[in-house]
Amino acid sequence: MEQSFLIKPMLDESYPVIDYGKGVYLFDMEGKKYFDAASGAVTANIGHGVQEIIEAMNEQAKKVSFVYRSQFTSEAAERLANKIAEMTPGDLNWCFFVNSGSEATETAMKMAIQYWQEKGIQTKTKVLSRWVSYHGITLGALSMSGHPVRRARFTPLLEDFPAIHPPYCYRCPYKLEAPSCGYLCAQELESAINRIGADKIAAFIAEPVIGAAGGAIAPPKDYFKVIKEICEDHNILFIADEVMTGFGRTGTMLACEQWGIVPDIVALGKGMGAGYAPIAAALASEKVMEPILAGTKSVMSGHTLSANPQSCAVSLAVLEYLEKNEIMKEVECKGVYLRNQLEKLKNQFTFIGDVRGKGLLLGLEFVGDRDRKTPFPRKTMITQKIISIAKEKGLLIYPAGAGIDGVNGDSIIISPPLTITKREIEELALLLKESLEALSAHLNDDDRE
Ligand code: PMP
């Protein structure tokens, strides 16, 4: 390609031009094949090039691609909202469409604040969160994100919302084990509420499985039960950021269902359009919408392209595809198979400290010394190394870690399309093994300390 004026990310010097995608594979203009083992950024949940989605998009385009949300609704938006209400647990019946995960968490935050305002309480404006978390790149979403690296340049503009430790059992700050630990990391929420004052807190937000900031950190069994109880006891709404986990990633429509929890508000994104269109949403329960509908009558937020018919038609087609092919049902089984392959790699490579995750959202954490769980020194750039070695070999994986105190900056996420087959899981594992072997050959003692 000739000189380009596209602003590129700094992640990687190799930045190929992609030509097309098919299933779990992407092909660049030079004909090189890539195994998309991360679904891009945990987004291409049904793989690339699915004809049904493209047809649904075309059908909608033939009718109308855009209507302005404050003038019209569309059949696609109505049907999608109803389908999501039907497929989600509890009475999460209300759906506000936006275009990205960051907009979804921002909207969720505003909904929570508005809820209390409509009830006549003006002081509840904080949305507490956890230190190892990522809720989006816009300023409100970043205020809620416990991600020091992404916050760093904008600190003066951000609120200090992260308040408690995450359920990061591999590096438990209390050096305890679940469930005998009594979920002290969840109990911290109660102390934080007492310190800050429940009268100032609108909501608590958490990712069911910590993604970009932690590398697929799934909580122990009763963690979210404890969190939900504390929220209820103190009149604080619970927001689940399911941008990465929603739409079947862990085997259920929402990951919260895995632990029997129904949030008050949910943020959805990524898998909602599965990469075929930009679409995201904030869902609200009847309890949250009741005072809003009785008061202002609508959520005080919105974007020009909210509920865009084209994107809604795509998302509806994605949901129908998931349903028709019974894809969610197989996620758990595929996840276990993939995880077993990752465990085998852990046996082979001593620099893999932890294998974790839920469903098809899995992660590996790298350590310089496995027994002491010592992270690699920053200078080694271990995550960047493995990402570029794998890409060279035609395997795409996703870097994770917030770089907090240098201890959780070294993880990757493996999150292939949910449509992956058993043979493809084996191919993924083989490519990863070859990449890790190449990494191993590359590392010397100096890199570990
Ligand atoms: N929340 C979570 C849990 C995410 O993983 C992400 C994206 N990595 C976001 C919010 C932000 O989504 P987007 O990049 O679409 O704005």
From 197-206, 313-322, 395-404, the region with the lowest mean pLDDT: 395-404
Choosing from 132, 239, 243, 247 the residue with most ligand 1 atoms within 8 A of its CB, the one to mutate for a pocket test is 243
Task: Give the Å distance between the CA of 121 and the centre of ligand 1.
Answer: 30
51-75: per-residue pLDDT in tens?
Answer: 999 999 999 999 999 999 999 999 9
Q: What is the pLDDT of residue 12?
A: 59
CA-atom Rg of the chain in angstroms? 22
Q: What is the pLDDT of residue 60?
A: 98
Q: What is the pTM of this model?
A: 0.97
Q: Does domain 53-324 have CATH number 3.40.640.10?
A: yes
Question: Residue 407: is its pLDDT beyond 70?
Answer: no
Domain boundaries, the chain: 18-49+328-448, 53-324
Residues lining ligand 1, Cβ inside 6 A: 41, 100-102, 105, 134-137, 207, 211-212, 241, 243-244, 269
Task: Give the Å distance between the CA of 445 and the centre of ligand 1.
Answer: 36
The pLDDT of 91-120, averaged and rounded, is 98
Indicate the fold that domain 18-49+328-448 takes in CATH: Aspartate Aminotransferase, domain 1 (3.90.1150)
Q: What is the pLDDT of residue 78?
A: 98
Q: Which residue has a Cα nearest atom 12 of ligand 1?
A: 101
142-156: per-residue pLDDT in tens?
Answer: 999 999 989 999 999
Task: Give the Å distance between the CA of 115 and the centre of ligand 1.
Answer: 23
Give the number of the atom of ligand 1 that is nearest the alpha carbon of residue 103.
16
Q: What is the pLDDT of residue 5?
A: 82
Q: Which residue has a Cα nearest atom 15 of ligand 1?
A: 101
Give the number of the atom of ligand 1 that is nearest the alpha carbon of residue 105.
10
Split at pLDDT 50, 70, 90, the class of 446 is confident
Q: What is the pLDDT of residue 8?
A: 79
Task: Give the Å distance between the CA of 267 and the centre of ligand 1.
Answer: 9
334-363: per-residue pLDDT in tens?
Answer: 999 999 999 999 999 999 999 999 999 999
Listed in sequence order, the residues at least 6 apart from 90 whose beta carbon sits closer than 8 Å to its beta carbon are 262, 285
Choosing from 105, 143, 415 the residue with most ligand 1 atoms within 8 A of its CB, the one to mutate for a pocket test is 105
The pLDDT of 372-390, averaged and rounded, is 90
226-238: per-residue pLDDT in tens?
Answer: 999 999 999 999 9
Q: What is the pLDDT of residue 404?
A: 57
Q: What is the pLDDT of residue 442?
A: 87
The pLDDT of 124-132, averaged and rounded, is 97
- ipTM of the prediction: 0.99
